[in-house]
Amino acid sequence: MDYTGSLYRPPYEANSLLLQVTVGCAHNNCSFCTMYKDVKFGTAKLEQIEKDLQEAQVMHGKVRRVFLVNGDAFVLSAKRLKQIAELIIQYLPTVETITMYASINNIKSKTDEELSELSDLRINDLWVGVETGHKKTLKYLNKGFELEDSYTQLKRLNRAGIQHIDIIMYGSAGMGKGTENAIASAKLINESRPTGIAIMTMGAYGDSQLA
Ligand code: SF4
């Protein structure tokens, strides 16, 4: 398998096949994040992806879950994601779920029809960097979308049959704002109906804008 740069995946994906489709993060501008500062965003060539899948077919046999790396792989166009999903199904027909990290903006850029087509091609679960349901906090986290977008786009996933695990970051509102943030985030989660909630904690690391 060909991998470029540091790879990140949720702990839950420890047994998933990691298939690289992008390098770094297309947004790469969240105020707290330093994960992909050392790499320029890029996309993997389809030929390389196919080569990796041929290797995975020999090495891993029956694969049920594939996690596409890197930072916001759902940024790829619906057309490219469909090509990748078709290749995965061709080489690993036992796959039930193709998943990856997604930004709210990555969902927004796809039509309802495209989301449904992707769901039919087993892209039926996403890890969405929601972070917070607190409007002001979201602003200074610099995610590049508004709170209203979170409400709208997560519901679009539900309608398209794409499950989602919403990533929420404790501590993101700052000192003394924990309860306010928790209530606002719970409101969003109660409306967006994720299949899971992944809890992270805020850390202002080294060269992050937030630090
Ligand atoms: S938090 Fe996610 S979307 Fe934001 S810069 Fe980091 S990898 Fe990219």
pLDDT the model gives residue 78? 98
Q: Give the residue, by CA position, lying nearest to ligand 1 atom 5.
A: 28
Strands 65-69 and 42-43: unpaired
- Dihedral sign, CA of 61, 63, 66, 69? negative
Q: Is 140 helix (H, G, I), strand (E, B) or coil?
A: helix
* Ligand 1 atom with minimal separation from the 32 CA: 1
User: With contact defined as beta carbons under 8 Å apart, do 188 and 133 qualify?
Assistant: yes
Q: Is 42 helix (H, G, I), strand (E, B) or coil?
A: strand
* Ligand 1 atom with minimal separation from the 103 CA: 3
| Whether the CB of 33 sits within 6 Å of ligand 1 | yes
pTM: 0.96
Alpha-carbon distances of 189 from 103, 154, 180, rounded to whole Å: 16, 9, 14
pLDDT the model gives residue 6? 87
pLDDT the model gives residue 53? 97
Q: Is 158 helix (H, G, I), strand (E, B) or coil?
A: helix
pLDDT the model gives residue 38? 87
Name 66's bridge partners: 17, 98
Tokens of 211: 């630090």
CA distance 129 to 147: 12
Q: Is 167 helix (H, G, I), strand (E, B) or coil?
A: strand
pLDDT tens for residues 21-65?
A: 999 999 999 999 999 988 999 999 999 999 999 999 999 879 999
Q: Domains plus CATH for the chain?
A: 11-201 (3.20.20.70)
| Whether the CB of 103 sits within 6 Å of ligand 1 | yes
CA distance 32 to 140: 9
User: With contact defined as beta carbons under 8 Å apart, do 55 and 38 qualify?
Assistant: no
> Which residues does the chain have with pLDDT short of 70?
none
> What residues have CB less than 8 Å from 14, skipping those under 6 apart?
none
